Amino acid sequence: MSKKELFFVISLFLIGGLFFFLSRPLIVSYDLRLLILGFLIMVFAQYVQIPIAGVIFNMKAFAALFLLLFLSPETTALLSIGSILVQRKINLKSFVLRSSFELAQYGLATFLFKLSSTDYYRIPLFSISYFSLNSILTVIYVKSFAKVSVKKFFRVTAVVFLLGIYSSAILTTAYLFLESKFTNLSFTLLLYAGFLIQLYYTVNAQVWYQELQYEKEQISRETENLLKMPKILESFGTEDVDTILSKLLEVTCKMTGFSVSLMSLFDNRTGKVVRISKYGITDEDFAIIKQKQPDIKDTILLMQSRFDIGGAFFIPKGSLALDEEYTFKPLDYAKLDAENAWDPDDLFLVPIVYSNRIIGYISFDKPSNKLRPTKREVELAKFFAWQILQILKDSHYSILFTSPYGKEISLSSLMEEISKAIMSNRSFTLVYLDIDSFEKINLEKGFRFGDELIRHVQHTLEQEVKTFGVYSHLGDEFMVLLWTKSKSDGMLVAEKVVESVKERYPGITFTGAIVKYPADATDLNGILSKIRTALIAGKKSGGGRIVNI
């Protein structure tokens, strides 16, 4: 809660407290049966919601008017604020904010209620003051903190105000009878219940109609955007690929309801994430974003199974510590106060998958409805990610994901890659693995077993280094080149190979060595010399160990 919001809340508490002070003596009901019944009515009423022009209101205020026939306004205020505590998934900020609103509204309403000397006018005065202050405070809060259009809220609060006046007039009929009989009270109760039921179903019928209209408009919008697809795809070959990708992102956003999107690909040659295309981002901002390239392995961490929502990834605010240097947040961001509201710090990533591996992703932001993505939106985004992949495969960007990384290359090619990295001063880790006593294994278990063992190691290495390295092998010796700044990544790959072989072929061991450039050596001869020395030392000590220089 910001300082401005805190000042607003404290002001409301002071206003409410002042009006209650002026309403002395305060009378609190002690009839336990009425208190329990009143509390249950309040709890039930706050879960009965009526949507008016896209804004959700609950029925608590209407329940409070009814309880005024049996309880004092001070007691009703306590029950109303207390019922907030039992609301599902309410945080401290929401509780304090709603309590301050209700305290101010009940304070003013109680003051005018007691100011009236005639019973007949008390409930209407309570209703007028309660709903008037509610309208004023809502408009002030929306304009000051929500940063959205006030016109819609002003119209809605005006409608609720009129409904509140009408409902108080119905309840006032209880004071028209000369005697307080059960039949007279029952008549008022039935009249009021009929009004609330009619209100609920009338409003919801209107909502159902609006939802049908929205579905109709959505289908029309989707059809219109889908008709643009053939024209965009037909222009491939005659139009710049970046323009085509930008148009596809625009259609994707309009179909899924997002205002901003950014497409990125993994460049395994540099180990960085490259920004390719955008929608809803200015050229100036995009130029800045393109200069900030996070590491691939750091980005992959965002795509954990716990964030999976049917093939895409939704990372709620606070789930991971994100480096703000590599994140972009649109300005003029308003957040809804709803359970499934989108937070400006939420992330929605749709992976681009080629040959069963992630080669990039599309990130979406600023949904037009300010809500988290639905299943329908996820499926639409995945479809367009696949469509974008078809364009990428036939473009110059294909070099980023059709390179030999993750596959076996010749030993000379691997040495060439190392030399290039040294010339460009690019950090890397080299892993050297040797199967212990391989000749003895061939003699005792047969050459077919040896060949099968070699193939298993190859398959394991392909799976482990497919996104950030290459490997080569000569006989029973394997060299793995990893584009990583951490030796621990090399140790992790070596351990994965050892564990995989141990699980399938018990008794088979490896001796290995790991070196890092430029920390351990600054040229090719030095790297090869150190890694060979470490391997020999490991063999002499009995084998079955990975030597980390």
Tokens of 96: 């304090």
Give the relative orientation of helices 92-115 and 119-141 as an angle to the nearest 10 degrees. 150
3-state helix, strand and coil shares in percent for the chain, rounded to the nearest 5: 60, 15, 25
Give the relative orientation of helices 32-47 and 60-67 as an angle to the nearest 10 degrees. 160
Q: Identify whether the C-beta of residue 26 lies closer than 8 Å to the C-beta of residue 20.
A: yes
HSE on the CB side for 545, CA within 13 Å? 13
CA angle 158, 172, 64 (to 5 degrees): 60
Of 110, 103, 107, residue with least CA distance to 125: 110
Percent over 90 (pLDDT), the chain? 27
Compute CA 316 distance to the chain's CA centroid, rounded to the nearest angstrom. 4
- SS3 state of residue 341: strand
User: What is residue 121's predicted lDDT score, i.e. its pLDDT?
Assistant: 87
Residue 98 pLDDT more than 70? yes
Does the pTM surpass 0.95? The reply is: no
Tokens of 398: 């294909």
Question: 269 or 389: which carries more pLDDT confidence?
Answer: 389
Note the pLDDT tens digit of each residue in 198-252: 777 776 666 666 666 766 776 777 777 777 777 777 766 667 888 889 888 998 8
In sequence order, the 6+-apart residues with CB closer than 8 A to the CB of 169 are: 124
Domains of the chain: residue spans and CATH: 3-208 (1.10.1760), 241-398 (3.30.450.40), 411-548 (3.30.70.270)
Region 104-114: mean pLDDT is 92
User: What is residue 517's predicted lDDT score, i.e. its pLDDT?
Assistant: 92
Q: Alpha-carbon dihedral of residues 215, 217, 221, 224, nearest 10 degrees?
A: 110
